[in-house]
A and B are shown apart, each in its own frame.
Chain A
Amino acid sequence: DTEVTQTPKHLVMGMTNKKSLKCEQHMGHRAMYWYKQKAKKPPELMFVYSYEKLSINESVPSRFSPECPNSSLLNLHLHALQPEDSALYLCASSQVLTGVQPQHFGDGTRLSIL
């Protein structure tokens, strides 16, 4: 079991749809992350939030829009996605942005774009 909860586990959407991915943690962590993982590839960092502020955007297209409403929640809003955006989207959290303590991951949302 993971202490980072992601919903939904699976999502199928068309290219014109708008949907959101949700991530929640109750470990008191102040840094939260979104990663994208394509099949048979390692996870790649997309966004980093620190104390609810966006700290890092790894040149992600604007059709992905992150949001951190409070210290426990992280959302990823999706709009006008492309088929190549189909992937596993992982959320992670850590105590602080830079520190020895590790990041902890959720089990991801598997996204399919039709």
Chain B
Amino acid sequence: DAKTTQPTSMDCAEGRAANLPCNHSTISGNEYVYWYRQIHSQGPQYIIHGLKNNETNEMASLIITEDRKSSTLILPHATLRDTAVYYCIVRAPNSNSGYALNFGKGTSLLVTP
């Protein structure tokens, strides 16, 4: 699986958009980008995934660059409950190792009042 690079930590004011970047410059054509977050003392929570098109759901938007070498997770109106560690994971679903989620170190997002 391709390696991802994320900033160690970020701050965001409550009510503002939180834009979390992820670099995956060695991504392969069959690899998807997945985002999870882990709030303190809870299990990882799936947020969104995509291959090459931008995706949006009730939690967030995922913007993937045209060359697919980076992506941005957008939380449009951050709340204090969005404070968590956010993991960007690249995964090839239909490969022999497609079961693997390599979490990496993630970005610790702090939403402040």
- Spell out A's residues near B (CB within 8 Å): 2, 4, 6, 31, 33, 42-43, 45, 48, 55-56, 90, 92, 94, 97-100, 102-108
Cβ–Cβ < 8 Å partners of A102 in chain B? 34, 36, 46, 49
Main secondary structure of the interface of B (DSSP, over half): loop
Q: B98-111 vs A: 1/0 string, CB under 8 Å?
A: 11110111100000
Of B13-21, B37-45, B59-67, B75-83, the one touching chain A: B37-45
Question: Please, how many angstroms separate the alpha-carbon atoms of A48 and B98 in the complex?
Answer: 12
Q: What's the count of A-B pairs with C-beta under 8 Å? A: 56
CB-CB nearest in chain A for B39: A107
Question: B41 CB to closest chain A CB, in angstroms?
Answer: 8
Of B87, B93, B103, B104, the residue contacting A99 (CB under 8 A) is B93
Tell me whether B94 and A45 are in contact (CB under 8 A).
Answer: no
B26: interface (CB < 8 Å) = no
Tell me whether B87 and A45 are in contact (CB under 8 A).
Answer: no
Tell me whether A100 and B95 are in contact (CB under 8 A).
Answer: no
CB-CB nearest in chain B for A98: B98
Tell me whether A98 and B105 are in contact (CB under 8 A).
Answer: no
Question: Please, how many angstroms separate the alpha-carbon atoms of A106 and B104 in the complex?
Answer: 19
Cβ–Cβ < 8 Å partners of B41 in chain A? 107
CB contact under 8 A between A106 and B49, given known A45-B100, A98-B95? no
Tell me whether B100 and A105 are in contact (CB under 8 A).
Answer: no
Tell me whether A103 and B105 are in contact (CB under 8 A).
Answer: no
Of A2, A42, A56, the residue contacting B43 (CB under 8 A) is A2
Tell me whether B87 and A42 are in contact (CB under 8 A).
Answer: yes
Of B46, B93, B103, B104, the residue contacting A98 (CB under 8 A) is B93
Question: B14 CB to closest chain A CB, in angstroms?
Answer: 23
